[in-house]
Amino acid sequence: MRATDATAEARRALEICNACRYCEGYCAVFPAMELRREFSNADLSYLANLCHDCRGCFYACQYAPPHEFNINLPRTFAQLRVETYEEYAWPQPLARLFRRNGLVVSLVAAAALAAVLLLTMRLQAPDVLYGAHTGVGAFYAVIPYGVMVTVGLVTFGYALLALALGYARFRRDITASSGRSAGGKAWRRALGDAAALRYLSGGGHGCNDRNDSFSEVRRWLHHAMAYGFLSCFAATCVATIYHHFFGWIAPYPLLSVPVVLGTLGGIGLMIGTIGLLIVKALRDPTPGAREMLGADAALLVLLALVAATGLILLVLRDGGAMGTLLAIHLGLVLALFLTLPYSKFVHGVYRLGALVHYAAETSAASVQGDRFNGA
């Protein structure tokens, strides 16, 4: 991690926090901070991504603005996370996309949507595109199965590769500063914490979204969005198994496993994304970073549009609007895949890496403490 104004400010703030330690029970950041007397740039990157932006420390801090120390860890960490995403992005020439993330996501979404619509209209006669198609293979009468699968696999495969390489760079950097590697126990603990969104409860009472009062709303909305996304992914996986192993061709009945999973996932995504957009609009802007607003909103809107068009397609799939809706939905899905490695989505990847590292280093510290006490 390179030295920047954000790393300098984070180091200054953490040195003050490490002397105070009033917030040590709020989240994982402060116990991890207390294991260090000095903070390398990699340490700062790790702690910034370990932060879940619950904002409890800001409202509890006696040195927060207007105090002359001007400690605002949520904002400082948010600014540092943006630089982290850019630092570890792959391929590196595309790292600059993070600087104007909201605009980039919007432009890519518009371009992908237009490309799929225009290509579909060019390849298919009007009566095919606007006609009603029902029964086995109805979707593929509009967009051939081979085209749909090839484009999806290439774009999603690229997204997975870029995310994996970015994560590898992040892990290599933060583990090099400590010399610790994570085992299976650390991974199990980190995955459990991530699945429960444990640290979106702050010190145990929830996040401080609007003021110093606590709320669990943001945590539950994140649950709805995350598990909605996973449910949609599971629906795609089940449909793939149906198609290739059983020869059952889409569209599937309303009560089939893929449709039920996709419907529940789409509803969860809609609730989570729209709810989070409302929360972000009402949040106190003081502990936030303006650099993140565009990225937050762009990803949430894109996910909401993917979910909404999927649900509308399900309802209207037997009518003449199916072809156009299918092209719009697939265009938005394509845009989502293309922007995943360069959107706010990456925060989940790096945050998981930070949780794994936290589990490994706190476990090692506990073992050392037991040995010391036993001596």
Q: Worst-scoring range by mean pLDDT, 125-139, 141-155, 224-238?
A: 125-139
Range 213-234 average pLDDT: 94
Residue range 177-206, pLDDT digits in tens? 666 667 889 999 999 999 999 988 876 788
Note the pLDDT of residue 370. Answer: 38
Note the pLDDT of residue 374. Answer: 46
Structure token pair of residue 96: 């600059």
Q: What's this model's pTM, rounded to 2 decimal places?
A: 0.89
Note the pLDDT of residue 375. Answer: 43
- The more confident residue out of 178 and 84 is 84
DSSP state of 54: -
Distance separating alpha carbons of residues 142 and 245, to the nearest angstrom: 23
Concatenate the DSSP letters of all residues of 133-198 into one string: --STTTGGGTS-HHHHHHHHHHHHHHHHHHHHHHHHHHHHHHHHHHT----HHHHHHHHHHHHHTG
Q: Please tell me whether the peptide bond between 66 and the residue prior to it is cis, using omega within 30 degrees of 0.
A: yes
Distance separating alpha carbons of residues 275 and 268, to the nearest angstrom: 10
Read off φ and ψ for residue 296, nearest 5 degrees. -60, -50
